[in-house]
């Protein structure tokens, strides 16, 4: 079950990242772009940690 939540968190992170990039490029709002980068990266990292399989 945690693998499913992990994959979901990874997907959320991959959706947030391009939204932040779009905000930074179109509106020129670099602080918000960087904030969204860290939020999306955090979601992705948390999901990756949850979804990985234990070693043997």
Say how far apart CA 8 and CA 15 lie, in whole Å. Answer: 11
SS3 state at 51: helix
pLDDT of 56: 46
| pLDDT tens digits, one per residue of 1-56 | 778 899 999 999 999 999 999 999 999 999 999 999 999 999 999 999 998 876 54
Distances (CA, A) of 23 to 10, 45, 53: 20, 22, 35
Q: What pLDDT does residue 3 have?
A: 85
Which pLDDT score is estimated for 55? 52
Q: Which residue has the tokens 């980068």?
A: 37
- How far is the C-alpha of 32 from the C-alpha of 3, rounded, in Å? 30
Say what angle helices 2-27 and 30-51 make with each other, to 10 degrees.
170
């Amino acid at each position: 079950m945690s693998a499913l939540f992990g994959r979901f968190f990874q997907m959320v992170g991959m959706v947030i990242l391009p939204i932040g990039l779009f905000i930074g490029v179109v509106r020129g709002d670099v602080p918000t772009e960087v904030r969204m980068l860290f939020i999306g990266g955090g979601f992705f990292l948390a999901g990756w940690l949850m979804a990985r399989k234990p070693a043997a």
